[in-house]
Amino acid sequence: MSTTSRRYAALAGITAAAVAIGIAEPVAVLTGPRSAPLVAVGGAIVDAVPESLKQLAIDLFGTADKIALLVGTAVLLGGFAALFGVLAVRRLALGLAGIGAFGAIGVAAALTRSGADLADALPSLVGAGLGALVLWLFIAGPFEMNPWSWSPPTPAAGPPSSGASVPPAAGGSVPPAAPASGSSSGPTAAVEPVAPADVDPESRRRFLTGSGVLLGTAVVAGLGGRWLAGRRGVSAARDAIRLPAPVAPAPAVPGGANLSLAQLAPYVTPNFGFYRIDTALVVPQVDPDTWRLRIHGRVGKERTYSYADLLARPLVERYVTLACVSNEVGGDLIGNARWLGVPLRELLDEVEPDDDADQVVGRSVDGWTCGTPTAALRDGRDALLAVGMNGEPLPVEHGFPVRMVVPGLYGYVSACKWVTELELTRFADFDAYWVPRGWSRQGPIKTQSRIDTPRRRNRLTAGPVTVAGVAWAQHRGISRVEVRVDDGQWQEATLAPTVSVDTWVQWSWRWDATPGEHRLQVRATDATGETQTERTQDVVPDGATGWHSVTVTVR
């Protein structure tokens, strides 16, 4: 097979795959975005890949890891599709089998997502069916496009797929030697395609126009489907919500809590800049009108609450700093917001948990789970079933309509977004999502500190330089932050005021910088008197440790 024919064949395969995936998107508008094959397969990959790989993806792409995964999946798929096209020229059944296999993978992925029903198979089925049709059109159908099935003048060597569509007159241009180079692997094998010079220009034009039109259709259908799905989302319902005022408002942020330095994270993280971590490839769209929270399991009285039930209760508002266990030393997977919600303690009191129910499993609408110690939800800390974030209904990607927020615990064991179920159980009986994937059952936040300014590439001049950053030990509080330069004496930094022990605190230190390269280091001590350990530990299994350092050059 010539390189040129192989390229055409690959294009036919890619076009077929693009049609399959593109057309599946508008179908998924009916069956739900998670049933679209690309998202379903991507989601299955997210759940299946080893933790180390996932961490690598977060390291490489940060919070763009999902886009990277979708693009990666699409590129890989394109490669296979090209291969199927080439195979199809040799034997159509092989190409069709390839598309069928991928359709089956799409169906399997869509059906094994939690909460899936049979209809979720539809986008992959329709897509694979149309993809197969396109491949057939190009390779052997009425739209059959040369060059590969070019019919040599001698009928004996004619491939079975070359039909009446080959213009007989053009046959005269085929050099008589061409059939001699043909494969002899049986009646279904295509003859070795002729050189590009022998391609019927009419046929080639038709081929390129056809694949161009189909590729365009696939892109329009794909993007159109996504757009439609977005319009069917819950942003309109969210916009219509007016949250009641809290009966217990958050304490005012004390003046000076925010040092307002250019590179320093603001004391309150705006919603648009708040880090986002979750396993959801498409953001769950949960209608607040039909949303329910069921609290059940090892309880005396199982209860179910609606969104209106929650809003009718006395709401409290609290600043709580959320942190991700995957945050590296010096990393930015941490943010502080003002959360409005119902104290979880009150809801748990109403269901009367059994004494041995030491774990509360929060379950999201997409099946993700976290396991929180029941004690942490009942010991008086401000653990909330949150409906508001910084004065707005929860942003959709931060868990709309309702999520959990628990001061002092990493998000993976406590901060269930799109929560729809709380199950009282025991740690001995159930492992939540990340536990079998190598993470610790218990996830108390470790004392940490970060230098936000100066940064490595800043141009510094000798003289006074403000070194500043944040430190956190949620629910214990920070009592001291120290900085040192080039392994010198630890110097005590000034702590800015803070709202409560549940949030981070800004700190600053005046450095009399001298010319040369210097290493700045920071460490914090929590209110129990324990100083952050120097020992470095990776984020797995229960959070990174070590001192953050920044090396700068002063002129």
Ligand X SMILES: Nc1nc2c(c(=O)[nH]1)N[C@H]1C(S)=C(S)[C@@H](COP(=O)(O)O)O[C@H]1N2
Q: Measured between alpha carbons, how far is 216 from 222 in angstroms, rounded to an integer?
A: 10
Helix (H) or strand (E) holding 284: none
Q: How far is the CB of 278 from ligand X (least distance, A)?
A: 3
Q: Which C-beta is closer to Mo ion: that of 102 or that of 434?
A: 434
Q: Which C-beta is closer to Mo ion: that of 191 or that of 323?
A: 323
Q: What angle do CA 100, 10, 105 make, to 5 degrees?
A: 25
Q: How far is the CB of 241 from ligand X (least distance, A)?
A: 18
Q: Which of 494, 493, 443 is nearest to 327 (CA)?
A: 443
Q: Judged by CB under 5 A, which of 324, 505, 524, 554 binds Mo ion?
A: 324
Q: Which of 258, 251, 265 is nearest to 382 (CA)?
A: 251
Class of residue 539 by CB neighbours under 10 A (exposed 0-12, middle 13-18, buried 19+): buried
Q: Which of 473, 455, 466 is nearest to 523 (CA)?
A: 473
Helix (H) or strand (E) holding 10: helix 3-31
Q: What part of residues 402-441 is at the interface with Mo ion (CB under 5 A)?
A: 411-412
The listed partner (ligand X, Mo ion, none) that binds 11, CB under 5 to 8 Å by sort, is none
The listed partner (ligand X, Mo ion, none) that binds 511, CB under 5 to 8 Å by sort, is none
DSSP for 88-150 reads HHH-HHHHHHHHHHHHHHHHHHHHHSTT--GGGGHHHHHHHHHHHHHHHHHHTSTT--SSTTP
Q: Which C-beta is closer to Mo ion: that of 123 or that of 331?
A: 331
Q: Which C-beta is closer to Mo ion: that of 410 or that of 547?
A: 410
Spell out, one character per residue from 54 to 83, where the chain touches ligand X: x when CB under 6 A holds, - when not: ------------------------------
Backbone phi, then psi, for 6, in 5-degree steps? -65, -40
Q: Establish if 275 lies at the interface with Mo ion (CB under 5 A).
A: no
Q: Establish if 279 lies at the interface with ligand X (CB under 6 A).
A: yes
Q: Establish if 276 lies at the interface with ligand X (CB under 6 A).
A: yes
Q: Which C-beta is closer to ligand X: that of 87 or that of 413?
A: 413
Contact yes or no for 389/404 (Cβ under 8 A): no
DSSP for 159-182 reads -TT--TTS-GGGGGGS-TTGGGGS
Contact residues for 433 (Cβ-Cβ < 8 A; gap 6+)? 279, 368, 369, 370, 412
Tokens coding 86:
């080439």
The listed partner (ligand X, Mo ion, none) that binds 531, CB under 5 to 8 Å by sort, is none
Find the part of the chain contacting ligand X (CB under 6 A) among 3-11, 190-198, 269-277, 302-310.
Answer: 269-277
Residue whose Cβ sits closest to Mo ion: 324
Q: Which C-beta is closer to ligand X: that of 278 or that of 482?
A: 278
Q: Measured between alpha carbons, how far is 267 from 543 in angstroms, rounded to an integer?
A: 22
The listed partner (Mo ion, ligand X, none) that binds 267, CB under 5 to 8 Å by sort, is none
Q: What part of residues 411-440 is at the interface with ligand X (CB under 6 A)?
A: 411-412, 415-418
Q: Judged by CB under 5 A, which of 277, 460, 495, 540 binds Mo ion?
A: 277
Q: Which C-beta is closer to Mo ion: that of 8 or that of 339?
A: 339
Q: Which residues bind Mo ion (CB under 5 A)?
A: 277, 324, 411-412
Q: Which residues bind ligand X (CB under 6 A)?
A: 274-280, 322, 324, 364, 368, 398, 411-412, 415-418
